[in-house]
Amino acid sequence: MSTGKLHWWAEVLTIAAFYGIYSLIRDIHGSNTNALAQATTNADRLIDLERHLGVFQEAWLQHLVLGNHAFVSFWDDYYASVHFLAVAGMLIWLFFAQPQRYRFWRNVIAVCTAMALIGFAFFPVLPPRLLPSSYGFVDTLKVVGGLWNFSSGAVNDVSNQYAAMPSLHTAWSTWVALALWPSLRHWWSKVATLLYPLATIFCIVITGNHYFADAAGGLLFLGVAYMLTRAGHSLWRQHVGQLDPAEPPTPRVDALVDH
Q: pLDDT per residue over 124-180, tens digit each?
A: 999 999 999 999 999 998 888 767 655 544 344 445 788 899 999 999 999 999 999
Q: pLDDT at position 258, please?
A: 41
The rounded distance, in Å, linking the Cα atoms of 54 and 48 is 10
Closest CA to 214 of 63, 66, 39: 39
Q: pLDDT at position 12, please?
A: 73
Q: What does the angle CA 42 – CA 43 – CA 44 come to, to the nearest 5 degrees? A: 90
Q: What is the DSSP code (8-state) at residue 251?
A: P
- 27 in a domain, yes or no? yes
Which domain covers residue 20, as residue numbers?
8-257
- 46 in a domain, yes or no? yes
Instruction: Out of 136-150, 206-220, 235-249, pick the least confident.
Output: 235-249
Going by pLDDT thresholds of 50, 70 and 90, the confidence category of residue 29 is low
The rounded distance, in Å, linking the Cα atoms of 89 and 83 is 10
- 174 in a domain, yes or no? yes
- 107 in a domain, yes or no? yes
The rounded distance, in Å, linking the Cα atoms of 136 and 174 is 29
DSSP labels, 145-198: --S--TTSHHHHHH--TT--SS-HHHHHHHHHHHHHGGG--SHHHHHHHHHHHH
The rounded distance, in Å, linking the Cα atoms of 120 and 130 is 17
133: left (phi over 0), alpha (psi -120 to 50) or beta: alpha
pTM, entire model: 0.83
- 121 in a domain, yes or no? yes
Q: pLDDT at position 149, please?
A: 59
pLDDT above 90 (res 31): no
Q: Rounded mean pLDDT of 44-57?
A: 97
Instruction: Out of 177-191, 201-215, 232-246, pick the least confident.
Output: 232-246
- Domains in the chain: how many in total? 1
pLDDT above 50 (res 1): no
- 90 in a domain, yes or no? yes
Q: What is the percent of the chain with per-residue pLDDT over 90, rounded to a whole number?
A: 61
Q: Rounded mean pLDDT of 14-42?
A: 70
Q: Rounded mean pLDDT of 34-39?
A: 85
Indicate the average pLDDT of the chain.
84
Query: Do 140 and 129 contact (CB within 8 A), yes or no?
Result: yes
Q: What is the percent of the chain with per-residue pLDDT over 70, rounded to a whole number?
A: 77
C-alpha dist (Å) from residue 197 to 36, 38, 210: 29, 29, 14
Going by pLDDT thresholds of 50, 70 and 90, the confidence category of residue 24 is low
- 235 in a domain, yes or no? yes
- 143 in a domain, yes or no? yes
- Kindly provide the residue ranges of all beta strands, DSSP E only, lying in the chain, ordered along the sequence: none
